[in-house]
A and B are shown apart, each in its own frame.
Chain A
């Protein structure tokens, strides 16, 4: 009576990766706005005070990537775009750590960027899994009913729990007691 399973190959959306991609999109926009609107503060924090223009440029890049991630149906290239951007950020902060006025600040920022890069890579990997077909099972033939569900509707209608058979446990208990003795 064990029903054979209907099996097929298909591509499956990775909802976790897509949700992460959206979160990264919002993060990009937030960071980009901060870089665009207060480049001086950020430049001082990482000891690169002469590079406000570059930080603004990076801010525009972040906003562009963020908007792309939020607007697209295919976030994968945009996530890889973020990974490239992370590399640029890390290279710039590396220069700041060697030649800037605040190497500690630059190192802290680089650590944070490295953490986000790990998330970006995990997201890219998750989205990449969508390209590989997986075995799925179709149980749409398993109703458990002898007729279509619409025709089974109400076959056991009681209306109230009080009218269900055997709800009065004493009857069942009496029956069992009689059986036993």
Chain B
């Protein structure tokens, strides 16, 4: 107990002074939390402050944000060649930066990172591990990470997870993400190690293999993408499986749009109360977003700053307007390849300017992520249709065509929607058009053969990793 107090003090001091944290100290705190849970069954009354941060007062939060921004910018100005040039050309003094002045700094876009990755690497840090985005939305981006980051993030993640009861000793986490998702896999495996849980890193293997592992391997937590989750649900249905075949208590599925129809089906199939749909991105780790029960996406304010920038003006999005999430991870949480005002191109809607009443009301929020900015369909009248609108309506068709495969284009003032034939199975084309119209989408349907489905829209489940026992390998043998 005395040592725990010292560790908490060291962590709080590091956060307050914005100095590098000691990952070992955080790891030991995870052990302390586990000991606390073993003795008391739950953490003490103020445990939420350890995870959510103590600042709910807007003025205190602004002061914290300004201080964190300055600390981050000062370091970037000194150590990051890209940002040193940027500050110099824009005549910005990083030591005087605040939230209001932040808008003067142009956003960093993916092309910057892709074309000049070396310019983003801080000169005072030894690079340790390179990770690449999976490239489902374009050319993969490479991000170098330091050993400090690779130790700190799982420790912070494990601390939050065990405090919230999301990860417990004895849990078994099955991870069905692409094996190239280095950061996520490393985070999951090490968080499990610290929490005394088991971790099975399977990759995007044939769904039947993953199902077998889920059912017989006793997994209690499943971490995957929505498209692969859809494949799992379909495979489980084919195999005649049901909730009684699984021991899952949590199902976490992020990285793509998760539709309500898939949530309902997955919850029923795997026997979990709901499917968690967090938000994160390789370029801006360790910043995350959490959805609440009222469908908002609440953005982490302790580790970084999330702005919602209007798609057209570059100014903060007005209530009700669409914007792109622009994220700045703070030092000391981001160390080797930090970014400032990184434009994720993930689009969300600004919530009405009124108080929130959800369970995460003290944490700033936007709507759920609606899709990539580059995938928005802009109609001649100015109307914008998002990927989420298409996916949710398509996946709610009676045929349950998960994951949604479609192509949309604006044609003569109307939406021309291309779908595989199996997507509207059980419906005539006219009925299908009415289905879309009921959801506010006036579409002209263009039906193609199922063999063209995958080419219409790529999903993460397409990155199938074969095994010697899988049908793909046998075909090639």
A, B in one complex: no
Interfacial residues, chain B to chain A (CB-CB below 8 A): none
Interfacial residues, chain A to chain B (CB-CB below 8 A): none
